Structure 1
Amino acid sequence: MPRPSSRTAAWLGPGALVGAGLVLAAIDPAGAQTTPDPAAAAPGLFAPTRDGGATLAPGFQPGDPTAASPDGRSRFGAIDETAPPGSRPPTRPATQFDSKNARKPRVPLSFTQRQQEAARLKRAPVPATLVRGTNPHQIPVVMLDRLRRRGGPDIDTTSRLNVPVAAIIPRRAVSVEEDPFAPTGVRVGAFTLRPAIETTTGYDTNPTRIQGLPGSGFTRVAPELIIRSDWQRHRLDADLRGSYTWYGQTYPPVTENAGTVTATATPEIIDRPNMDSRVTGRYDVDKLSHFDGEARALISTDNPGSPNVQTGLRRFPIVTTVGTTFGYTQGFNRLEVTGKGTFDHQVYSDSLLADGTTSSNADREYNQYGGALRVAYELKPALRPFVEAGGDTRIHSQKIDRNGYDRDSKGVFVKAGSTFEFSRKLVGEASLGWLWRFYVDDELTNMSGLTIDAALTYTASDLTTVKLIGTTVASEIIVPGLSGVFSRNVTLRVDHAFRRWLIGTAQIGTGIDSYVGSDRVDHRYLASLALVYKLTREVQLKTELRHDWLRSDLANADWDATQVTVGLRLQR
């Protein structure tokens, strides 16, 4: 008789089992002692299968304990191993449960199953039909903004083969801090303010830039405030920088042996201020057009050693320049046209002489009105060549200067160049051109010459950065018979991070000053080494060794100067 399961025995109870055995023995004594054929037995309450009743557990298939499985193993798992005496042989139930816990072979997924699994993991709807070439749906592809060309045709983001295409999901940008010692700034609404102040002290062997005069120690204090907007559209930034330099040495007039007093071409007190503050903004009209504006204020003095410096001065006269620029840019697919207008007003303070009197500098004041037009074409996203042309007019407050010249003039320039942005390796702009300036007074020689303008930054590696700066300036002069000074300057600077907190800088530069109306040409040179030690985000230590020298065609105009400085910078 088949042995009932433990769950069945527990349900019926011991008494019911004993009674059922007596009844069966009375009906068929021989059958109570023999085991019926499982295949011939009719399903019943005590059948070891699912048909035996819904309340019974799955039955077990009786079999020979010594019978081997098809793979040559016995039902106990070992090959040719018989069941130990008194033990119950393991059986395979009708539910296909394998009591041996054998490892099943892994069945590889088909192409369709892999697509379904990927869609399920991404929680995306799976098309009803995923057979290649028969899919009625088209899944759009997410295109990154950097892959789109501004003004170009839209990119087809669907599969042309009518096959589901995996969407391009951009990776979440990993926040990599470029400079761990950069100031964090102060957040005020939508603006970030970065205040700083730098104090420098050192010694200059020739602060007057006149050979033969003694050197002097100096102290410079330079506050600054950088403001950056954080708007999704438009922009408003400000760079406010200034400084004041005190010198410990004075340079009074020289008394000769004969008792005469000779005034030198340098003030007695050479302390001087400097400021360069600019506010820039952009208003975005749409994707292809925007307005740009700038307001600026500059405060400075004549450079020491300049021919514009009067003799017998008590202090340098201060020159203030205020101006503005307003422009508009319109894009036409890859073509971009920019027009801008400029206005600058330059004012000089009266000169304070050594004897206590003053001298007016109104003849050096002027207003400048100008404009320019630039046309650029985008050959590649990283290469945009352009051509630019413009002009300006200078009108002086005093028609005739102290030497009897009318210095009003008109200027015209043209230049061609390109902007660069090659994977952030090379970024900037460079151009070559030509400048003409025509003076109202016939006795003044017109000015013309090659212009060089560049502002390029090359990131050689994560530790090394190379910068190239080139400028061309046509400045005014007050010397009789001279029209102006045509200056070109080129500077090469290399910054290298020995450590993230230790930055070394090497710089070389040259400049040429051509005095229009005479044969004088000055060649200027500079070379410097500097080191910045960043203690924290807020505190930095600086030191620099710099040498400047000038070689001129004019006799007794050469000079050399060496500066050694150390400084402390506090920033937020």
Structure 2
Amino acid sequence: MPRPSSRFAAWLGPGAIVGAGFVAVAASPGFAQTPAFGTDSAEEPGLFAPAPDASGARFRPGSPTAAAPDGRTTFGTGDGETAPSGSQPRSTTTAATGFDSRNARRPRVPQSLTQRQQEAARLKKAPVPPTLTPGTNPQEIPVVVPGRLRRRGGPDIDTTSRLNVPTTATIPRRSPRPEEDPYAPLGIRTGAFTLRPAIEVTTGYDSNPTRIQGLAGSGFTTVAPELIIRSDWQRHQLNADLRGTYTWYGQTYPPVSENAGTVAASATPEVIDRPTMDSRVTGRFDVDRLSRFEGEARALISTDNPGSPNVQTGLKRFPLVTTVGATLGHVQQFNRLEVTTKGTIDHQMYSDSLLSDGTTSSNADREYNQYGGSLRVGYELKPGLRPFVESGADTRVHSQKIDRNGYDRDSTGVYAKAGSTFEFSRKLIGEAALGWLWRFYEDDQLTTMSGLTIDAALTYTASDLTTVKLIGTTRASEIIVPGLSGVFSRDVTLQVDHAFRRWLIGTARIGTGIDDYVGSDRLDHRYLVSIAMLYKLSREVQLKGELRHDWLRSNLENADWDATTVTVGLRLQR
């Protein structure tokens, strides 16, 4: 074998000496290792592979055999002998693995910090009790009740198990918040108010816009702007609902008049375009938890309904009817008893009628002021059910004492009704009431108006996709026909909304109404059937379509009519 060069020997010489020394130390009895996986293991661990501790939290070489007087654990050589003290390594701890070369005893965690975990583990490992025989009284086992479940000042919670079965108290899960409508308008935030403006443009065809049988139909276009304002205060409230419409018709009509007895059966203006407006501002001032003030200011604009006996003969267009008024009330609660008092004032005025020949006719005799008040007492029988009784009175004072036909139409009205408000788990909300109304006229020639009143506004959520609404209203309207006191009207409408998709909602509506002309035998029955579809393109854009049929059946000759309306519309909202 050739002799290595002097440079290679100089490099190999110190390494060979260190390697030989390391092999000698490893072969010594003090560093002998026992198999980590038993004698039947296929392969023993390597020279430096540590054996796991019993707790599995740290590792040490070899296995412990005895504890030294100073608390350190000695390591056996594999033959039951104790390793010399000089073979124990110095104190070295690796933070990554938790390995302690001294194998010093780990400090115990105070039991107070792990008391709940230990108690839970003890209950989890508790044996299943044997079958109990009748008449026995097994030992009671305490139950762990977290402090957050204990109510201050309330009765103590029973912390024992009568059946000797460990139990734990559970926290009731909160019902999930309803998912926000992904197509609802977000509005515009301005200080403490949220503004939701919108405008809707509808076009369509009405087979009988004058509500007089035999006249031609007409296409029409309606523009309806609106602005909804909502406050966001912790106390008090101030809201506003501002809505208006204007409808243009493409057809004009010659004046029509047809009398039957003392009632004008039909009349129509030449131009039937008309506006409407319904604007209301409501507010609430919270005095304290049991007392508050409520108020409303309103402004309404409308016209006489097409086909109404109030429509004059020979009109160029409908005169405007404007109503402004306010309501102020106070609500006081006495535990479950609630008392509400309200006062109202309204002023109704008419514009002059423009006739086809260019002249005008005054409607000052139809203007009046109305003052009224009401008292409601309700009692909460249980959450969501508050029955009530309500009574009120009002008086109407006309601007002219005697109207164009020689009648004094000043009157006093009284009503009483009983009903209830509902709010059952958001399934059924609203209120409904039945009552009776009387209206007494100053003129002895006018008959007292009286009858059953129906007032309802109920919303029933049958499912997440279907909603049912029931609306009932009663009105006592003025009239200018000679010999008639007024029109007593009742309307009931049932509406069902179903969401085929979140963005596709169908609506079906049916309704009926009765118009009783007090002072004559005339009685009109009105009906409607409607099917509509709403397609939500986004939060800002919606498409609408509706098919509706209305008809009237009267005991008066030549007063019946039918009308079919088809509309499509576009709604822009923010």
Whether TM exceeds 0.5 here: the answer is yes
Q: Structure 1: state its 5+ residue gaps.
A: 1-9, 18-46, 66-92, 98-108, 119-130, 144-154, 256-262
- Does the Cα contact within 8 Å between 2:143 and 2:168 map onto a contact in 1? no
In structure 1, distance between residues paired with 2:454 and 2:322: 26
Secondary structure (helix, strand or coil) at the match of 1:114 reads: helix
1:114 to 100, 115, 120: 120
1:360-390 per-residue CA deviation (whole Å, 9 max, x = no partner) reads: 0000000000011001011110111000011
Counterpart in the other structure of 2:60 = none
Alignment of structure 1 residues 202-213 onto 2, 5 Å = 202-213=204-215
1:314 to 310, 313, 316: 316
Secondary structure (helix, strand or coil) at the match of 1:478 reads: coil
1:505 to 499, 504, 507: 507
Shift in CA distance, 142/389, structure 1 to aligned 2, threshold 3 Å: farther
Alignment of structure 1 residues 221-236 onto 2, 5 Å = 221-236=223-238
Shift of 1:220: 0.1
- Does the Cα contact within 8 Å between 2:455 and 2:471 map onto a contact in 1? yes
Counterpart in the other structure of 1:183 = 185
Counterpart in the other structure of 2:365 = 363
Q: Which amino acid aligns with 2:210?
A: T
Counterpart in the other structure of 1:464 = 466
- Does the Cα contact within 8 Å between 1:142 and 1:168 map onto a contact in 2? no
1:154-189 per-residue CA deviation (whole Å, 9 max, x = no partner) reads: x953526699x9998676775543421110111111
Counterpart in the other structure of 1:272 = 274
Q: TM-score, normalized by length of structure 2? A: 0.74
Shift in CA distance, 134/175, structure 1 to aligned 2, threshold 3 Å: closer
Counterpart in the other structure of 1:304 = 306
Shift of 1:253: 3.9
* 2:68 paired with 1:51: yes
Shift of 1:51: 3.1
Shift of 1:96: 9.7
- Does the Cα contact within 8 Å between 1:141 and 1:157 map onto a contact in 2? no
Counterpart in the other structure of 2:420 = 418
Counterpart in the other structure of 1:395 = 397
In structure 1, distance between residues paired with 2:329 and 2:76: 91
Deviation beyond 4 Å, 4+ runs, structure 1? 47-50, 93-97, 109-112, 115-118, 131-135, 137-143, 160-163, 165-175
Secondary structure (helix, strand or coil) at the match of 1:58 reads: strand
- Give aligned-pair identity as a percent: 73
Alignment of structure 1 residues 120-269 onto 2, 5 Å = 139=147, 141=149, 156-159=153-156, 174-253=176-255, 265-269=267-271
Counterpart in the other structure of 1:327 = 329
Counterpart in the other structure of 1:431 = 433
In structure 2, distance between residues paired with 1:471 and 1:393: 20
- Does the Cα contact within 8 Å between 2:266 and 2:308 map onto a contact in 1? no
In structure 2, distance between residues paired with 1:295 and 1:167: 53
Secondary structure (helix, strand or coil) at the match of 1:183 reads: coil
Shift of 1:141: 4.5
Secondary structure (helix, strand or coil) at the match of 1:384 reads: strand
Counterpart in the other structure of 1:21 = none
Give the stretch that moved more between structures: 174-183 or 356-365: 174-183
- Does the Cα contact within 8 Å between 1:141 and 1:158 map onto a contact in 2? no
Q: TM-score, normalized by length of structure 1? A: 0.74
Q: Which amino acid aligns with 2:487?
A: V
Counterpart in the other structure of 1:33 = none
Alignment of structure 1 residues 444-523 onto 2, 5 Å = 444-523=446-525
In structure 2, distance between residues paired with 1:386 and 1:269: 47
1:266-319 per-residue CA deviation (whole Å, 9 max, x = no partner) reads: 110000000111111111111111111111110000000000000000010000
In structure 1, distance between residues paired with 2:328 and 2:155: 43
Give the stretch that moved more between structures: 465-474 or 276-285: 276-285
Secondary structure (helix, strand or coil) at the match of 2:235 reads: coil
1:233-272 per-residue CA deviation (whole Å, 9 max, x = no partner) reads: 11111111100000000012479xxxxxxx9711100000
- Does the Cα contact within 8 Å between 2:256 and 2:314 map onto a contact in 1? no
Q: Structure 2: state its 5+ residue gaps.
A: 1-17, 26-63, 82-101, 107-114, 125-139, 161-166, 258-264
Shift of 1:232: 1.2
In structure 2, distance between residues paired with 1:550 and 1:156: 66
In structure 1, distance between residues paired with 2:494 and 2:365: 37
Give the stretch that moved more between structures: 169-178 or 284-293: 169-178
RMSD of the TM alignment (CA)? 3.4
Q: Which amino acid aligns with 1:216?
A: S
Counterpart in the other structure of 2:260 = none
Q: Which amino acid aligns with 2:240?
A: A
Shift in CA distance, 162/52, structure 1 to aligned 2, threshold 3 Å: closer
Counterpart in the other structure of 1:405 = 407
- Does the Cα contact within 8 Å between 1:264 and 1:312 map onto a contact in 2? no
Counterpart in the other structure of 1:543 = 545
Q: Which amino acid aligns with 2:537?
A: L
In structure 2, distance between residues paired with 1:385 and 1:293: 23
Shift of 1:63: 3.8
